[in-house]
A and B are shown apart, each in its own frame.
Chain A
Amino acid sequence: MGILNLSKLLADIAPHALKEHELKTYFGRKVAIDASMCLYQFLIAVRTEGAQLTSADGETTSHLLGTFYRTIRLIENGLKPVYVFDGKPPEMKSGELTKRQERRQEAQKALEKATEAGDAAEIDKFNRRIVRVTKAHAEEVKRLLKMMGVPYVDAPCEAEAQCAALVKAGKVFAAATEDMDALTFGSKVLLRHLTFSEARKMPIQEIHLDKVLEGLELNQEEFIDLCILLGCDYTDSIRGIGPKRGLELIRKHKSIENVINTIDKEKYPIPQDWNFAEARELFKNPEIAEINDLELKWGDPDEEAMVKYLCGDKNFSEERVRNGCKKLLKAKGSSTQGRLDGFFKVLSTTPAKRKLEDKKNTPNKKGKTSGGRGRGRGPK
């Protein structure tokens, strides 16, 4: 789920930190992809007539198909992906996970109802909501990645945290996930929409942490506290404090402790046994695998093994698999285009001045109206 409303807040306050680029401009870049996130996308999105794709004996293959084609697309564009798989969820996430479990059960019930009623649109909707990424899915994808010559990393805990650590250590250029908390974990660059389908024509959103901090006028520790206030996966947040107010409070008081000491607790009740300090610790020092022990190697694809696995067991078309393999080999054989960044030093950057002023004006207006609405809502 990431951080509630953080991307909206950034678009308003720090538009400078968000950039959009086409996939093809990322050639030569190594990226750490949050595998659990994209498997989930595949299971939801890769479907025909609303049903997941399956092998002959009825097992889902949507995740394999998605991994296969979209990884090829990345490699064709010159990217070097490394997939990072989730380990065990941190204990603090259990609350969030229970909530998700409940939602899934509700969806299951709704699905049964819809099936009885024969409402196709509803069936489709709830079918997508009960999707879960299982261990078996992950294992199958790992097997496929190995055959494709694409490296993967098993994170001991949260994949976003591991991705962030890889970026921090300079092993990869960016973390690719939809979860904004990769930034909270300290990933210098976050890419969103990287593994989306080509058909959606979504540009890739690139978010730079340094620009985020600059735009929000916070340091990393304050930023972590802000994320906790906004609402993260690990602990509760204070009801009634939204992004704007949260940012104001952190800017003024620097930490959650100080915020708690100053705000009106009648109006904004602090959650019981609020363990924000532990959540903060989790963001600062997450459980990750030792970076230096990881070897990221992009090897040659094993065509025969892939044909045997995907066509034999999983009902893929042999022609397509072989074609895909050729693309992988071709991309691997070609030399990589260099960048000028390494050769020239940036002497100074002049951000667009007037643009910034304009942007500052508009959110202010918005801020006032939403503030007004907020106050209006209060007495109800």
Chain B
Amino acid sequence: MFEARLTQSASIKKILDAIKDLLNEASFDCSESGIQLQAMDHSHVSLVSLTLKADGFDKYRCDRNLTMGMHLGSMSKIFKCSSNDDTVTITAQDDADTVTFTFEAKKQEKISDYEMKLMNLDQEHLGIPDTDFSCVIKMPSGEFARIVKDLSQFGESIIISCTKEGVRFSTSGDIGSANVKIAQTANFEKEEESVIIEMQEPVVLTFACQYLNSFTKATPLSNVVQLSMSDNVPLVVEYQIPDLGHLRFYLAPKIEEDEN
């Protein structure tokens, strides 16, 4: 039997909003330690990795390891039926082919439950190597979303170059080019509003706007986003989910055309 209870259904709502554009369906691996989701989009360009720790839930019980394939669009529909401060309980029997979401309104005057059919999905477990990144940038997540959105109007891809002085986001397209430069914040009074750059070596990488824009759908989850980059390895965009875990996106860089 599996049971997980969370006082704020909003967190899961936000997670679903952030990943349902990239993935149509995904498997949630539930174990004693928590819930994990790892899946690539159809074209294998980006990867979503979600970790929700067991102790982040108000109640968590998982007797046997369980993999639940869910259609994220449908799941999102169900969560849309709840209010943000509803308490949600996710329950499933061992070897069940359905999962139940129960929403309790704050004053407990209303209880609604939704049963959803599970899907059987092919699953590929990928080993993600630990990388020492050349550049790790922490910045306000809203700022990052804004920059990506602004630059997407001008080109299909964004070049992110990181040096000691700061990070430069640039793009070019039919109408011209655009550049946004942000510098490391001098005072660290408010960590949430500062830009912090840890750099071993400068890095320049190109990424598709389309994917970056999808990633920024996770902005409501966290005030801070962390970008980790190294030459020729995927970009990691990480959002911490307070008390619960994290949501990471990996994105393969664009490569310059070599002569065949």
A interface, CB within 8 angstroms of B: 16, 21-22, 24-25, 27, 296-298, 332, 334-355
Contacts and interface: CB of A to CB of B under 8 A. Distances in A.
A275 B127 CA distance: 49
Which of A16, A342, A350, A353 has most B Cβ within 10 Å?
A: A350
**From DSSP, what is the main secondary structure of chain B's interface residues?**
loop
A336 B255 contact: yes
Contact of B97 (A22, A339, A354): A354
5 contacts: A336-B257, A337-B255, A340-B44, A344-B127, A352-B120
Contacts of B257: 332, 335-336
Interface stretch (B73-81, B137-145, B246-254): B246-254
A346 B125 contact: yes
A347 B126 contact: yes
Interface residues on B, range: 35 or more
Contacts of B127: 344-347
Contacts, number: 89
A367 B139 CA distance: 61
Given A298-B260, A346-B126, A348-B125, A340 B254 contact: no
Contacts of A341: 44
Given A337-B254, A340-B45, A352-B122, 19 more contacts: A16-B122, A22-B42, A27-B43, A297-B260, A298-B260, A336-B254, A337-B43, A340-B126, A343-B252, A344-B127, A346-B127, A347-B125, A348-B124, A349-B122, A349-B124, A350-B123, A352-B69, A352-B120, A352-B121
Given A345-B126, A347-B127, A339 B43 contact: yes
B152 interface: no
Contacts of B129: 344-345
Nearest to A349: B124
A350 B254 contact: no
A296 B42 contact: no
Nearest to A26: B43
B208 A337 contact: yes
Given A335-B255, A336-B255, A25 B124 contact: no
Nearest to B131: A343
B45 A338 contact: yes
Interface string B27-59: 000000000000010111111000000000000
Contacts of B206: 335
A349 B123 contact: yes
Nearest to A343: B234
A350 B252 contact: no
Contacts of B255: 335-338
A344 B39 CA distance: 12
A340 B46 contact: yes
Nearest to B95: A354
B256 interface: yes
A363 to B, nearest CB: 17
A335 B122 contact: no
Contacts of A296: 260
Contacts of B170: none
Contacts of B128: 344
B102 interface: no
B254 A335 contact: yes
Given A332-B257, A354-B97, A340 B47 contact: yes
Given A336-B254, A337-B252, A351-B122, A344 B47 contact: yes
A261 to B, nearest CB: 40
Contacts of A355: 120
Interface in B130-163: 156-157
A339 B234 CA distance: 9
Contacts of B122: 16, 349-352
Which of A341, A344, A350, A355 has most B Cβ within 10 Å?
A: A344
A353 B252 contact: no
A340 B233 contact: no
Contacts of B43: 24-25, 27, 337, 339
Contacts of B126: 340, 344-347
Contact of B125 (A297, A336, A337, A350): A350
B256 A335 contact: yes
Nearest to B208: A337
Contacts of A351: 122-123
